Chains A and B, each alone.
Chain A
Amino acid sequence: MSSTSLYHQSDTRIQTELQIIERAKRDPKDFAPLYNQYHESIFRYVVKRVNDSDLACDITSNVFVKAITNLQKYEFRGVPFSSWLFRIAKSEVYQSFRDQKAKRTVSIDKVTIVQVFEELNLDDDEENKAKLSRALRRINEKELALIEMRYFEKRSYREIGEIISVTENNAKVKTFRALQKLKVLFKE
């Protein structure tokens, strides 16, 4: 279920990344392979939430600036490097909302919305879309972020857990509760 995520496939890949990180701590230019690898997934994460390509470009750039300037603090604790980047991206996106540079957007494509309605056992019609819009506007930000990552971006619970700094099981429980809340709000 993780079409959006670029997840580590092997220990070899993790080791290669760690070597790049160690080199980049000494010389930021050596960060280039990680930038090339993760730029697209970070950009997609950002642009879906801010709905502005130019702003997403700036925010993505800032995510990597922050990653490089804070690289000395990065320690490998079994969590993929990409999760660390997504955490920075999350923080930068919320900062842009606080600075009122962007309006919080929830972006769902045509295929995904059909799957979401299937999950909710509902018809994909205009009335239900209007109800879902209302529910998505009312649900709190943390719950929305979980629903967004799981159902609209199809991330695994493991990755969601690593992005929000909780265990895989905890991510599963929290996402389930968020979906229940969304269902309640949908019916109101």
Chain B
Amino acid sequence: MRKILFNYQDPSSEDVQSKRDFDLVLKKVKAQQDYWKSPWFYGAIGFASILSFLIFI
């Protein structure tokens, strides 16, 4: 069920600008890149592939 607001008040520009945090964005980007580069990620993928192969044969 949608909520309909007829008296919506736009936040002020100052309020919106106070929420800017580019450092946080960069941290999240780095965390994502590190995740894909992580040996744990590829280790888990490799383990799952070997397991699937063994189950298959």
List A residues at the B interface (Cβ < 8 Å).
28-29, 31-32, 35-36, 39-40, 43-44, 47-48, 51, 53, 57, 60-62, 64-65, 68-69, 103-110, 113, 129, 132-133, 136-137, 144
B8 within 8 A of A: yes
Choose one: A39, A60, A62, A136; the contact of B4 (CB below 8 Å).
A136
Judge whether A32 and B32 touch: CB under 8 Å. no
Judge whether B29 and A48 touch: CB under 8 Å. no
Known: A29-B26, A65-B25. A108 touches B5 (CB 8 A): yes
Judge whether B7 and A109 touch: CB under 8 Å. yes
Known: A36-B20, A40-B17, A61-B24. A69 touches B29 (CB 8 A): yes
Judge whether A68 and B5 touch: CB under 8 Å. no
With a CB–CB cut-off of 8 A, which chain B residues contact A62? 28
A-B contact count (CB 8 A): 82
Within 8 A of A (CB), among B2-47: 2-11, 13, 16-17, 19-22, 24-26, 28-29, 32-33
List B residues at the A interface (Cβ < 8 Å).
1-11, 13, 16-17, 19-22, 24-26, 28-29, 32-33
Majority-rule SS of A interface residues? helix
Judge whether A65 and B6 touch: CB under 8 Å. no
Can you list 25 A-B contacts (CB < 8 A)?
A35-B25, A36-B22, A39-B16, A39-B17, A40-B17, A48-B8, A57-B19, A61-B21, A61-B28, A64-B22, A65-B28, A68-B25, A69-B32, A103-B2, A103-B3, A105-B2, A105-B3, A105-B4, A107-B5, A107-B8, A108-B6, A108-B8, A110-B6, A129-B6, A137-B1
Interchain CA distance A65-B33 in the complex, whole Å? 11
**Chain A CB within 10 Å, residue with most, of B3, B7, B9, B28:** B3
Majority-rule SS of B interface residues? mixed
With a CB–CB cut-off of 8 A, which chain B residues contact A43? 16, 19
Known: A39-B16, A44-B10. A137 touches B28 (CB 8 A): no
Interchain CA distance A43-B11 in the complex, whole Å? 10
Looking across the interface, which residue of chain A has its beta carbon closest to that of B13? A40
- How many Å from the CB of A4 to the closest CB on chain B? 10
Judge whether B25 and A109 touch: CB under 8 Å. no
